[in-house]
Amino acid sequence: MGPLAGVRVIELAGLGPAPFCGMLLADMGAEVILIERAGSKAGEPLSLGRHAIYNRGKRSLVLDLKQPEAVAAVLALLASADVLIEGMRPGVMERLGLGPEVCLAHKPSLVYGRMTGWGQDGPMAQTAGHDLNYIALSGALWYAGQPGSPPLAPPTLVGDLGGGALYLAMGILAALLQARASGQGQVVDAAVLDGSANLMNLLLSLQSAGQLPEARGQGLLDGPHWYGSYRCACGGHISVGALEPQFYGLLLQKLGLADEPDFAQPYDPGTWPALRLRLETLFASQPRQYWQGLLEGSDACFAPVLSPREAQQHPQLQARGVYVERDGVLQAAPAPRFSAYPKPQPGPVPGRGVDGVAILREAGLAEAEISALLDPGLG
């Protein structure tokens, strides 16, 4: 159960942001029917089986969409669906006979969610790419890293998931509200390129105000000694982000640096490189556990850099139940939280095609049609 209970979503299996969007909707209570491709092999890259957390809470049906009967079955499913999600290259759904014009003709109130990297149009629309490429072109990779080192962002988080899946989910929910009010569906064109560029607007605000120069390592969020990550004696890392003066003062006090004149001008960019080196030496003198004992829980704006397994054991994440294990797989619990649905738990990852018969029966197909569509040889 969840706030999207009663919403039915048809998801055409894909990679990355589209299935993650389906997971978000399933986490919030939507019924998500995952149509998996016939002939996919378990050994293919990113074919994760029971480890595919992005498929949790969904129902699975295997169809060969190259067959007209399978396409007809999808159109039959749309009769009771609110949303369709697809992450194909532009034009593929049209060639399959499942493009927006066809689907909206069958279900005028349908929200047709499309997920691509470069977008549905433009000179690069048909070009292959991945998360790193999209955020490189959009500008979102620019500030990722220090001067002298190649930009590197956390894999998938800024592009595929932040700029892709989350924007698609938001667009679908907005279009769904309008469809329920007007009876008229529409196409949601979400692109990682667009979404990751949109995520830059806060940084562009700082840039416009003169607080974030285009050159890396000179702005308030990527240059100061008081905003960054540091290596500890044990090989672990910690982070500090003492942006405001009162937090900076507390950080200095706890580090025994409050009386040192070199640290008295926190917003002078000219002092940042030398003071960063000072803090690098200081933090490297003790293990991460020491700095946690000294700084954690204070307003010095501190946190250790934890692996997911370490994060699972941290008191703050334990208190909120952020990480859980289901069927032996570590995963983050659904987010955000809703007061009407406390302590949300992730659904199971479905076996490939396990719900096929039931789904097609619900769509009104005859037993003979179901048997033909679900020929074991197609899986």
Q: Which of 194, 215, 201 is nearest to 135 (CA)?
A: 194
Q: What gap in Å lies between CA 75 and CA 52, rounded to an integer? A: 26
* Catalytic status, residue 160: yes
> Which pair of tokens denotes residue 14?
């894909």
The CATH 3.40.50.10540 domain(s) of the chain lie at: 8-199+325-378
pLDDT score at 46: 59
- DSSP sequence for 239-280: EEE--SHHHHHHHHHHHT-TT-GGGS-TT-GGGHHHHHHHHH
pLDDT score at 148: 85
Q: What gap in Å lies between CA 220 and CA 242, rounded to an integer? A: 11
Cα angle at 138 between 136 and 139, to 5 degrees?
70
Q: Which amino acid is at 145?
A: G
Burial-class residue 328 by CB neighbours within 10 Å (0-12, 13-18, 19+). exposed
pLDDT score at 378: 46
| DSSP 8-state assignment for residue 320 | H
pLDDT score at 45: 55
pLDDT digits (tens, 9 = 90+) for 173-221: 999 999 999 999 999 999 999 999 999 999 999 999 999 999 998 998 9
Residue range 227-313 forms a domain whose CATH class is: alpha beta
The CATH 3.30.1540.10 domain(s) of the chain lie at: 227-313
Q: Is the dihedral of CA 257, 261, 267, 272 positive or negative?
A: negative
pLDDT digits (tens, 9 = 90+) for 287-301: 999 999 999 999 999
> Which residues does 270 contact at the CB level (< 8 Å), separation at least 6?
none
Cis peptide before 336 (omega within 30 of 0): yes
Catalytic residue, candidates 27, 82, 131, 160: 160
Q: Tens place of pLDDT for every residue, the chain, 379 residues? A: 899 999 999 999 998 899 999 999 999 999 999 999 987 655 455 578 889 999 999 999 999 999 999 999 999 999 999 999 999 999 999 999 999 999 999 999 999 999 999 999 999 999 999 999 999 999 999 999 888 889 989 999 999 999 999 999 999 999 999 999 999 999 999 999 999 999 999 999 999 999 999 999 899 899 999 999 999 999 999 999 999 999 999 999 999 999 999 999 999 999 999 999 999 999 999 999 999 999 999 999 999 999 999 999 999 999 999 999 999 999 999 999 999 998 889 999 999 999 999 999 999 999 999 999 986 554 4
pTM of the model: 0.94
Question: Cβ(329)–Cβ(42) under 8 Å?
Answer: no
pLDDT score at 376: 58
Catalytic residue, candidates 51, 64, 106, 130: 130
Half-sphere exposure of 157 (CA within 13 A, CB side): 5
CATH 3.40.50.10540 corresponds to the domain 8-199+325-378: yes
Question: Cβ(84)–Cβ(111) under 8 Å?
Answer: yes
Question: Cβ(6)–Cβ(64) under 8 Å?
Answer: no
* Catalytic status, residue 106: no
